[in-house]
Amino acid sequence: MVKKMQRRPRRDESLSREQIIEAAIELLDSGGEPGLTFRNLSERLATGPGAIYGHVANKNDLLEAACSAVIGPGVNSQAKDMPPKAAIRALALMMFDAMDAHPWIGSALAWAAGKSTMVSVLERIGQQVHALGVAPEKHWVTVSVLLNYVLGVGGQNAANAQAARAREAERDEFLSTVADAWLQLDPDRYPFTRSIATQMRVHDDRADFLVGIDLILAGIESAGTARPQ
């Protein structure tokens, strides 16, 4: 006798764009971008692909919508009366935390330069760079440095955390293993690496990220491209 495959019952209620985006975020969180397929989404929502295509055009549209749902409110809620440096730090930290919670955001944003969410991030940072008094001819490079730092370091931190989880390793255990390996290096060839091994063991990724933002902001001031705050 041929055994029939069990299928998830189809949903009776109508499907909304918000429900699709929420399910997409769940798939992205559990399986990254490769896990977000319309087949997986259809199974999760107990519906057919046609019902989904009625709300989103394609996977890129879905990724943009997912990014907007996760970081859009944070980008748009930054206080306009906040001093420029504080606003940049707050926006950067919000994005760092979002990428830590949703590791797929960094790469999704990097490939969405022309999409509304990424443009909103660019605009928010750019307004604060302008408010710092950076000369117009330095706007592009200054914003690029800040944006690349946020996406690069935030994305790498998220990737590291994901890799550790995949190996079922605790962060403290992993850092201790690396620190111990550094301490075993040849002191003549690797004097600096050995000297920071104990710092590496106990460092705070979030705090280090903010130090980097502050170094960039200090560099902007010291280069004479911005007014002191």
How many CA atoms, within 13 angstroms, populate the side-chain half-sphere of residue 57? 4
| pLDDT at residue number 53 | 87
State the DSSP code for 117: H
pTM across the whole model? 0.83
Taking CA atoms, 153 is separated from 18, 126, 146, 176, in Å, by: 30, 19, 11, 21
| pLDDT at residue number 229 | 56
State the DSSP code for 67: H
| pLDDT at residue number 13 | 55
Distance, CA of 137 to CA of 134 (rounded, Å) = 8
pLDDT greater than 80 at residue 133:
yes
Of the candidates 110, 201, 202, the one whose C-alpha atom is nearest the C-alpha of residue 154 is: 110
Q: In the structure, what pLDDT confidence band is assigned to residue 12 with cuts at 50, 70 and 90?
A: very low
Residues 55-93 pLDDT 10s: 988 888 999 999 999 998 888 776 567 899 999 999 999
Distance, CA of 139 to CA of 148 (rounded, Å) = 14
> Quick check: 178 and 168 in contact, CB under 8 A?
no
Q: In the structure, what pLDDT confidence band is assigned to residue 54 with cuts at 50, 70 and 90?
A: confident
Distance, CA of 25 to CA of 70 (rounded, Å) = 9
pLDDT greater than 50 at residue 140:
yes
| pLDDT at residue number 48 | 86
Q: In the structure, what pLDDT confidence band is assigned to residue 1 with cuts at 50, 70 and 90?
A: very low
| pLDDT at residue number 160 | 79
Mean pLDDT of the chain: 86
Distance, CA of 123 to CA of 163 (rounded, Å) = 32
Burial of 193 (0-12, 13-18, 19+ CB in 10 A): middle
> Coil, strand, or helix at residue 35?
helix
| pLDDT at residue number 218 | 94
Lowest-pLDDT choice from 122-126, 198-202, 214-218: 198-202
Lowest-pLDDT choice from 3-7, 75-79, 170-174: 3-7
Average pLDDT over residues 125-140: 94
Q: Locate 71 and state its tokens.
A: 């970081």
